[in-house]
Structure 1
Amino acid sequence: ETADFPQPGTLYEFSRRNFPLKVDDLFNGELETYPKRDQLLRKVKKIILEATPTCDYANKKWKKHRFLLGFLWPEEFSNKIKTGDSSCKSPIIEYNLKRYKLVFDFRYLMTAEFEEFKNNKRNYSLKHRKKPLCQIRHQLLVDIQSRLSRHVNRPGIVNV
């Protein structure tokens, strides 16, 4: 059931080549001239996080899936993660006996109707996802959601 209707915090690996988010978007420096570029690109994994608030899920007020796109970024390259208002990186996690950071770009927050997600109508549909990688802890999900809400609520430039 998790594959058809994920809970908040479900993390998926994305298998399509044309993932909208590029490693360049979150790389600190010039990726094309980075000596370990190929090694990084082989090890980084494209991910999708179901970022819907848990209270919507628990109270049955969930209207759409909210997905946040990002990468499982190998720890050995963590010094090359770009920092800024639109990105978020987690503490180090271990997955399959390897150490990573979850890195998300808030500019790639997407929504999908339940049927779109279930029936393969969008790029992040079931056809292009593998089984869930894991369910992140509630505290980490809340931290990511909090940073995301801070990013969304920026006032921008105000002219008077």
Structure 2
Amino acid sequence: MVMKKRPLNDEQIADAKRLKALYNAKKKELGLSQAIVADHLGVVQSAVNSLLNAINALNVHNATSFARLLRVSVNDFSPSLAKEIASMYETIELYPSTLSPLDTLSTQEKQLLEIFNDLPKKEQDKFVKEISARKNELDQLYEEMKAVKEKRAS
């Protein structure tokens, strides 16, 4: 069964016309071509042509990519997609993460971080080197003990 593509509505056609006018007005100044836009969007050049000529409808991803490339607001060519993007943004702000990365640290980790941050940069670098060397020593000792244990078990 072949599915027919749904035709664009008047608003989508108007969006494409406004976008095409902006593209044509700015492409020379910004050094853009449909091939460059296609590469930025991750599509082929004919897909860009289809968007500019109202064959295919713009979506949020394509609209924001075009806006960045043309250095304009999505609202300049698609008020409806700009409204959709704003609505998406609002949902992000409605439920912000209240958990700071520091909230996941133990008391000891916080104390260590506080001490480390109070050190001068040179001492911080020295501390990292020393602690890394000590960790390597302990890793090596563990491997040696593990080998001895495995040898005894066999």
TM above 0.5, yes or no, is no
Name the structure with the higher helix share. Answer: 2
- The TM tier, using the shorter chain, reads under 0.3
Q: Which has the larger radius of gyration?
A: 2
Q: TM-score, normalised by structure 1?
A: 0.26
Name the structure with the higher strand share. Answer: 1
The answer to which structure, 1 or 2, has the higher relative contact order (CA under 8 A, 6+ apart) is 1
